[in-house]
Each structure stands twice: as C-alpha cells, then as structure tokens.
Structure 1
C-alpha cells in the first residue's frame, strides 16, 4: 500500500449464494485527511464492487443507519475519520446479534420490535388541556437532557453481551428510552413503563458491563438509565 491509498478489509456474506462468510480487501485512494469510512465504502461500491451492501442515509450522524463495527468498536461510518483510526487497514464488520441479510446489511426487525414493545410515545393518562398543549417548566425539561438524543443506531444493542445470550432481553436502547418517558412530566404511564422493565428480560438482567455507554455515538448513558429505573422500581416497592 502506498502513502496515498488505504486498504478496506470488509466482511462479506450473501446467504443466498455463500456457504460461509469471508473478508474481502479493497484498496482506495486516500488523498484527503477528512475522508470518512462511509465515503470509503461509497467509493468502493461505485468504483470497485457494486455488489457491496451497507446502510446509510443522512451522512450527518443524525439517522444512525450507518452503524457498524469498525476497527474493533461499534461506530457511525459517516463521522468516523479514517485519519483518526491511525491505521493502514480499515476492518469492517456488521452490527452483531442480528441476522445478516447481505454483507454489512443486517435484519433490524428484532431491534425495532423491542422499541415498539416499550411504547415509545407519550401516554398522558389524563385529559389534555383545552388548547392541546402540555407546558413543561425549565426544570422539568432539564430532566430529559441526555435522554432524548438517542438516534436508534443499535451500537449499544450490538455491543451488549446480554443481548447476545438472551434474544428477549430488552437491551440498553429500550431502557434509555423508557427512562426518557418515565422522566417526562407530560407522561402518565410511569407504572406501566416500570412494569415492562421490572421483568425477567428487564433491567435486572443487566450485568453493568458499560459497553453500551462506551460505544454510544451521542455520548448517552444507557447504563445510568438502567440504574435510575432500578431505583424507581425499588422506591415503589418500599412505598407499597
């Protein structure tokens, strides 16, 4: 490899035609220090191999669709600079704990089913004001800081060893988002939400490995949300 090229070592697998997975290497021009991993993948797809499959959309670290395992860590390909990896080879694998549909493209259905299970929408539980708007104070809104910025990229899901062992485990994404609604003054389904996580596949199965916190591209704290939910469950138990 010359100084103006970079090697990509990419996981390949097509269930329709391949008996087993393999890695395929590509060499691409590396003439810009701000070249991202996603731009490298797009270059490969357009100029080297148009059969390569991967997800991407916004290219601005907002949609979360380009999450993948890059050089030992789950990251967003769109905001991962190749120059910051300090390597001559970029090794890419798909998200874990989900079936591979093709190459870096995985079946996200189980992930979205868990998101649906937690009822990710406000449930006021009381009549809305006549004008249809519920006002929050500054202090009430501040409780949602660090909870509302999840982009559903599934990095936490894939890094969690418990989701690998228990397919029905709700996982860190679910707990962070339930904490978001439990902490919201406009929501009236606190007991219902806590009942969801106070279960066999809820917060008590977490082993506090902190992988989810480490890989979150938005620097959120799913482990902290799990701890908060445990505290709320215990408080209710004491009160009863």
Structure 2
C-alpha cells in the first residue's frame, strides 16, 4: 500500500492511499477455449475505484484482450451488468472498498444468456422478450395539446419507469436460467410501465401477452430480481401487480 507523507505544509498535495485487489475473472475466447476458464489479476486501486475502474486497468495495463461492455460509467446505460462475487451488479456502481478486499473478487458474465466472449453475452433473446410486450405508448386519439395526467396517475407506474434494460434482474432469475422462453422480469416491468399508464389504450393486449404460459405465471417470487436491480425497482411487486390485473381482466 502506498500512502502520502504529509509534513507541516498545508499546500502539499495529498496522495490518496492505494491497495492491491485481486480479481479472478471468468474468461472465454470462442476462438481458443472449449470451456470458460478463470484467470486472476492483481491490480492497484484507490478506495474510490469501482470494479469497472479495475477492469479498465487490467485491460489497459495487463491484458488488452479482456472483453467487456461499458459506456456511460454512471449507472444509466446498463451495459456493464455482470456477476460480481456471485451477485448481479453494475460494475460502474460497485465500489471495490465495499467488497471484502481480503479475499479475491470474482467477476463473470451474467447467467442465462449465450456467452459470446469473456464478460459479454448475447443480449438478443433479452431484447426480443422486451419487444414482444410492445414497450411504447399506444393511443388512438390525437390531442392538440399534451395528454393530461394527474400526479396520482403518474405515481402509479413511476417505479417501473426507472428500468435501464441492464438485464441484471432477468439474468438473476432461476426460472429464466432454465427456461429460455420465459419473458423474464425486465420485460414484465416494462409492460407494467404501460399497462398502468392512464394515457395508454392497449393494456388488455399486454395483459393477454403476459397471461401466456411463459408470462407472469412462471414467476416463483424468489425476489432475486428485486435484489439485483441497480435502480431499486420493486420488480417482484410489479410482477404481482400485473398478475392481479390479469385476474381482474383490467389494469
């Protein structure tokens, strides 16, 4: 560990202490590997560093072949979802100091989607489910001004508007791991966002879609999805509200 040596000089720049973290990453190169393999890296990090920062340092300073997705690095784009110490998280929001740094940090791709390379999975099955629930406002009217909505009406679906499509919830679901046809929590959350929107006119169609055998009824209420969501969405609650709406026959 390196530390700053501060003398009686208030103008001296402070050097932030660093420490060495060990990351054990599940690697896979389809051109070389028959099966994924684990590889460990020691990297010097700051207390303020996130797992994404450590991955960058490994890629830039130790192994340029390490492959992962990232974009905004601020928990908005959702592209860097991965399993960190066995839990789905966004690498850009996971501070290394919040993990147990006395032990190695295990990093691997999210589960349930086809592995392409290292920490990258094929997201197409995930987005296909998302597209099937018609994730857009459907309204036949053509008002001259905005569609008026009360604060209470907006609050009804406010939580599910937070989804960033990172797939952390869906890929944490045991049913999704074993059933490639299940819509998954994220698709249901985005259906919820429009089903309960007072401006939308196609809630019945979405409810019919999710009443399918691979829809909401496949959910086993394990709460894995809610725990995995980096935006704090009450995913399991949203799924139960969609189930109730199906039983009522309306939103």
> What is the TM-score of this pair, normalised by structure 1?
0.94
- Structure 2 residue 77 is matched with structure 1 residue 37: no
Residue equivalent to 1:152? 165
Residue equivalent to 1:4? 19
CA contact (8 A) 1:99 1:107 kept: yes
| Aligned 1:193-208 pairs, distance under 5 A | 193-208=206-221
Return the alpha-carbon distance in structure 2 between the equivalents of residues 193 and 4 of structure 1: 51
CA contact (8 A) 1:128 1:134 kept: no
Instruction: Describe the superposition over 1:158-179 as per-residue Cα deviations: whole angstroms up to 9, x where unpaired.
Output: 1101111111110100111111
How far off its partner does 1:137 sit?
1.2
Secondary structure of the residue aligned to 2:160 is coil
CA contact (8 A) 1:67 1:77 kept: yes
- Structure 2 residue 121 is matched with structure 1 residue 106: yes
Residue equivalent to 2:6? none
- Structure 2 residue 59 is matched with structure 1 residue 48: no
How far off its partner does 1:73 sit?
0.6
How far off its partner does 1:20 sit?
1.4
Return the alpha-carbon distance in structure 1 between the equivalents of residues 40 and 249 of structure 2: 55
Return the alpha-carbon distance in structure 1 between the equivalents of residues 249 and 68 of structure 2: 45
CA contact (8 A) 2:83 2:89 kept: yes
- Structure 2 residue 162 is matched with structure 1 residue 127: no
| Aligned 1:172-191 pairs, distance under 5 A | 172-191=185-204
**Which structure has the larger Rg over C-alpha atoms?**
2
CA contact (8 A) 2:23 2:41 kept: yes
Return the alpha-carbon distance in structure 2 between the equivalents of residues 183 and 206 of structure 1: 20
Return the alpha-carbon distance in structure 2 between the equivalents of residues 236 and 102 of structure 1: 44
- Structure 2 residue 178 is matched with structure 1 residue 165: yes
Structure 1 consecutive aligned stretches of length 4 or more whose deviation exceeds 3 Å: none
What is the count of residue pairs matched by the alignment? Answer: 234
Instruction: Describe the superposition over 1:111-165 as per-residue Cα deviations: whole angstroms up to 9, x where unpaired.
Output: 01111111110001x222123x212111111112211000111011111011111
Unaligned segments of structure 2, at least 5 residues = 3-17
How far off its partner does 1:236 sit?
1.8
